Homo-oligomer: A and B are copies of this chain.
Amino acid sequence: MSKRVSVFRREHFNAAHRLFVPQWGDARNEEVFGKCSNPNYHGHNYELEIKVTGQADPVTGYVMDLKVLSEMVREHVLEIFDHKNLNLDTEYFKDLNPTAENIVVVIYEILREKIDAKFDLKIRLYETQRNFVEFPA
């Protein structure tokens, strides 16, 4: 059996953030982002869903060992984002507004470098149960 299968792994992290466009002043940020731009931050339980698509190995039956994927996410994503302030504690959002859209693209780019190029990769990120994003579209 050597068919293409998608495998998914869910992880989570808890972080503070503030929607903030650095080149704008506070007033314009509050006008556009409302309470999401609170200067003292708010936060979320982010749920992360990593989808890897490839051939299932004909002997093991694995596309990819999900324990290996989970460990990779822990090391390269959770270590950087979990229990952090996205705006202050990470390099990624010094000059980039930490919207869910921007966070999911950043996480994709981090993992795309680590996961073998023979696999397709897609990331879904839940900011709340009602608001979530996916990349690539």
Contact = CB atoms under 8 A, between A and B. Distances in A.
Interface of A: 1, 3-12, 14-17, 19, 21, 23, 32, 34-36, 38, 40-45, 53-54, 56, 59-63, 66-67, 82-85, 88-89, 96-102, 104-105, 120, 128-137
Contacts of A101: 5, 7, 56, 61-63
Contacts of A34: 67
Contacts of A97: 59-61
Tallying the copies of this chain within the complex gives 6
At the interface, is chain A mostly helix, strand, loop or mixed? mixed
Contacts of A66: 131
A88 B40 contact: yes
Contacts of A11: 130
A64 to B, nearest CB: 9
Residue in A82, A129, A131 with the greatest tally of chain B CB atoms within 10 Å: A131
A38 B3 contact: no
Nearest to A97: B61
